[in-house]
């Protein structure tokens, strides 16, 4: 064991936390268009069809189920002069920058093969960045509240990236007369991403320390499986995250349809999104204080429950142009609540990694964050796999009148299903066993073991010198 025994109270300067979190901004800038509008753009401007793109999207989630744990495992076993995480991030930045630009600039002859190659490459690059980066983050600070701070910074810059995307659509309106994503907008985003992402990652790699080494032992696949099987806090985390992610996936894939065709707010939709992500940015300091006051898991549970129930207020709003102001107010409230859901997982998962280190003496942070990433992707995949077929089963199709059974099916899918998943997730995570006091005990025991290990090594060296 090589963990320093005096870092529990170490605070990272705010400037370094900001530099660490900055690369999440360009990543968030492109994630939304990739998932929401890029398929329709390809269907309208290339030879690829929506059906084929949907099949590839499903296949990419299966591909992620293999690559995410693999990258986590390899980053845990990597040892270089600049640490185990940074080389993977640099490789990911190169792959993501090149492939994202290609994905965002197809020509009319591009087809499903073109889309498949570059979308798989993009997501591979994202995985190479995201999993090592988040594992690196929990190695930068081991204090319970400090992890809440760094998670808040990461979430804030992620939301700022989303704000930038929707703001760009609104800024172009006076020049183009539309808020649509055109080929020119995609090309501009592709160029910006290709330059911005590598620059920010290189800057972070140079400026930010490697983090505390935790163990000289390399994780093995056999021990990793055994570790996951016996880590009860992890299973509770995974259960809550999977439940919420599924419900949120259903909510997300029907949100645009609900606002466009039930609330009749299509032209105002970019403005709703700008308010949503803008309020999320402003809510981050508030949620950091809430985590300090109530702990991470209780804050998470509260935000789950609120997100599951507050959307029902939309039924009090009369659809039509007059719905814009009350819908914007409700959107702001939902954004405030969602801030807690976004900011907690990274910090909470760091505490779970510490629990595993105490039990096994091995750092598997990369693999734990790989599982977390898979849960995010699973949620969106499950949401598409559940939400869209359900509203179709009730007779929904684009342009259909939202009345009768179609209306009931849309409300059921948009409100009832996410509520069930969200409230169940809130109940599961409420009794999470690692709070601030217990995490303090875990850290002290890890550091005591590290100190004993160093004393033993020093004694052995002394004996060898005397002999």
pLDDT value, residue 434 = 93
Query: What CA–CA distance (Å, rounded) separates 447 from 455?
Result: 12
Q: When comparing pLDDT for 382 and 437, which is higher? A: 437
Residues with Cβ within 8 Å of 66's Cβ and at least 6 positions away in sequence, in order, are none
Q: Dig out the tokens for 67 from the structure.
A: 């690559």
pLDDT value, residue 1 = 37
Q: When comparing pLDDT for 223 and 184, which is higher? A: 184
Q: Could you tell me the pLDDT band of residue 22, with boundaries at 50, 70 and 90?
A: very high
Residue 177 buriedness (CB in 10 A; 0-12 / 13-18 / 19+): exposed
158-180, pLDDT tens digit by residue? Answer: 888 888 887 877 777 777 776 66
Longest dimension (CA), the chain: 90
Of the candidates 131, 80, 100, 102, the one whose C-alpha atom is nearest the C-alpha of residue 197 is 100
310 in Cβ contact with 334 (< 8 Å): yes
Q: Residues of the chain with pLDDT > 70: what percent?
A: 88
The predicted model gives 182-211 an average pLDDT of 89
Q: Taking 90 as the threshold, does the pLDDT of residue 197 lie above it?
A: yes
Q: Residues of the chain with pLDDT > 90: what percent?
A: 32
The H or E element containing residue 156 is helix 144-171
* Alpha-carbon 375 to chain mean position: 9
pLDDT value, residue 45 = 87
pLDDT value, residue 90 = 96
Q: What is the DSSP string of 42-75?
A: HHHHSS--HHHHHHHHHHHHHHHHHHHHHHHHHH
Query: What CA–CA distance (Å, rounded) separates 185 from 38?
Result: 12
60 in Cβ contact with 70 (< 8 Å): no
375-411, pLDDT tens digit by residue? Answer: 777 776 677 678 878 888 888 876 778 889 999 999 9
Q: Dig out the tokens for 301 from the structure.
A: 């549970």
pLDDT value, residue 365 = 78
Q: Could you tell me the pLDDT band of residue 221, with boundaries at 50, 70 and 90?
A: low
What CATH number is given to the structural domain containing 276? 1.20.1250.20
The predicted model gives 303-325 an average pLDDT of 94
The number of beta carbons lying within 10 Å of the beta carbon of residue 339 is 26
Q: Picking from 166-175, 229-238, 409-418, 428-437, which range would have the lowest pLDDT averaged per residue?
A: 166-175
Query: What CA–CA distance (Å, rounded) separates 138 from 148?
Result: 10
140-158, pLDDT tens digit by residue? Answer: 877 777 878 888 888 888 8
Query: What CA–CA distance (Å, rounded) separates 451 from 467?
Result: 24
pLDDT value, residue 325 = 94
Q: Could you tell me the pLDDT band of residue 271, with boundaries at 50, 70 and 90?
A: confident
Q: What is the dihedral of CA 111, 115, 116, 121, to 10 degrees?
A: 150
Of the candidates 265, 264, 250, 267, the one whose C-alpha atom is nearest the C-alpha of residue 311 is 250
Domain coverage including residue 445: 14-466
**Rg for the chain, CA atoms, rounded:** 23
Q: Could you tell me the pLDDT band of residue 2, with boundaries at 50, 70 and 90?
A: very low
Residues with Cβ within 8 Å of 336's Cβ and at least 6 positions away in sequence, in order, are 279, 280, 283, 286
Q: Could you tell me the pLDDT band of residue 331, with boundaries at 50, 70 and 90?
A: very high
CA 364 vs CA 82, 84, 148, 216, 228: distances in Å: 18, 12, 20, 12, 10
Is residue 427 one of the residues assigned to a domain? yes
Is residue 185 one of the residues assigned to a domain? yes
122-140, pLDDT tens digit by residue? Answer: 989 999 998 899 888 878 8
Q: Picking from 105-114, 193-202, 220-229, 450-459, which range would have the lowest pLDDT averaged per residue?
A: 220-229
Q: Could you tell me the pLDDT band of residue 358, with boundaries at 50, 70 and 90?
A: confident
pLDDT value, residue 118 = 93
* Mean of all residue pLDDT scores within the chain: 84
Of the candidates 404, 286, 392, the one whose C-alpha atom is nearest the C-alpha of residue 336 is 286
Is residue 337 one of the residues assigned to a domain? yes
Residue 467 buriedness (CB in 10 A; 0-12 / 13-18 / 19+): exposed
Q: Taking 80 as the threshold, does the pLDDT of residue 310 lie above it?
A: yes
- Exposure string for 294-320, b = 16+ CB within 10 A, e = fewer: ebbbbbbbbbbbbbbbbbeebeebebe
Is residue 123 one of the residues assigned to a domain? yes
Is residue 5 one of the residues assigned to a domain? no
Is residue 24 one of the residues assigned to a domain? yes
pLDDT value, residue 150 = 85
The predicted model gives 215-225 an average pLDDT of 59
pLDDT value, residue 217 = 54
Query: What CA–CA distance (Å, rounded) separates 212 from 94?
Result: 26
pLDDT value, residue 5 = 36
Query: What CA–CA distance (Å, rounded) separates 323 from 328?
Result: 8
Please tell me which of 6-10, 118-122, 150-154 the model is most confident about, judged by mean pLDDT: 118-122
Task: List helix spans (H) across 404-435.
Answer: 404-411, 417-430
Is residue 1 one of the residues assigned to a domain? no
pLDDT value, residue 449 = 83
268 in Cβ contact with 403 (< 8 Å): no
Please tell me which of 39-53, 85-99, 198-212, 251-265 the model is most confident about, judged by mean pLDDT: 85-99
- Our count of domains for the chain comes to 1
């Amino acid at each position: 064991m090589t963990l320093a025994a005096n870092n529990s109270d170490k605070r990272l300067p705010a400037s370094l936390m900001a530099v660490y979190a900055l690369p999440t901004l360009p990543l968030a800038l492109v994630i939304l268009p990739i998932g929401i509008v890029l398929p329709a753009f390809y269907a309208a401007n290339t030879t690829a069809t929506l059906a084929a793109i949907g099949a590839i999207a499903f296949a990419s989630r299966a591909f992620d189920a293999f690559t995410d744990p693999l990258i986590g495992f390899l980053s845990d076993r990597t040892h270089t002069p600049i640490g185990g995480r940074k080389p993977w991030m640099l490789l990911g930045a190169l792959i993501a920058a090149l492939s994202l630009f290609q994905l965002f600039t197809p020509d009319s002859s591009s087809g499903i093969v073109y889309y498949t190659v570059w979308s798989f490459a993009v997501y591979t690059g994202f995985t190479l960045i995201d999993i090592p980066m988040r594992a690196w983050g929990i190695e930068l600070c081991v204090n319970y509240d400090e992890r809440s701070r760094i998670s808040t910074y990461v979430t804030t810059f992620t939301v700022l990236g989303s704000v930038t995307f929707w703001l760009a659509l609104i800024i172009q309106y006076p020049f183009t007369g539309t808020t649509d994503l055109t080929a020119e907008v995609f090309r501009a985003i592709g160029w910006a991403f290709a330059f911005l992402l590598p620059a920010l990652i290189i800057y972070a790699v140079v400026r930010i320390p490697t983090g505390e080494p935790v163990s000289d032992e390399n994780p093995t696949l056999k021990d990793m499986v055994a570790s996951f099987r016996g880590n009860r806090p992890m299973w509770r985390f995974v259960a809550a995250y999977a439940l919420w992610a599924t419900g949120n996936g259903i909510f997300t894939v029907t949100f645009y349809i609900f606002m466009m065709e039930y609330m009749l707010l299509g032209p105002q939709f970019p403005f709703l999104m700008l308010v949503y992500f803008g309020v999320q940015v402003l809510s981050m300091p508030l949620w950091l204080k809430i985590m300090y006051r109530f702990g991470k898991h209780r804050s998470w549970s509260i935000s789950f429950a609120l997100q599951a129930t507050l959307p029902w207020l939309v039924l009090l709003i009369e659809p039509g142009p007059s719905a814009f102001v009350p819908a914007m107010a409700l959107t702001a409230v939902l954004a405030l609540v969602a801030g807690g859901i976004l900011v907690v997982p990274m910090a909470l998962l760091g505490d779970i990694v510490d629990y595993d280190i105490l039990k096994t003496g091995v750092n598997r942070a990369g693999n734990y964050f790989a599982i977390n990433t898979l849960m995010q992707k699973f949620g969106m995949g499950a949401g598409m796999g559940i939400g869209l077929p359900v509203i179709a089963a009730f007779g929904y199709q684009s342009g259909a009148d939202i009345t009768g059974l179609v209306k009931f099916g849309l409300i059921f899918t948009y409100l009832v299903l996410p509520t069930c998943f969200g409230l169940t997730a809130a109940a599961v995570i409420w009794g999470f066993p690692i709070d601030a006091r217990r995490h303090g005990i875990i850290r002290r025991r890890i550091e005591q073991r590290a100190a004993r290990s160093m004393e033993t090594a020093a004694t052995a060296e002394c004996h060898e010198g005397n002999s």
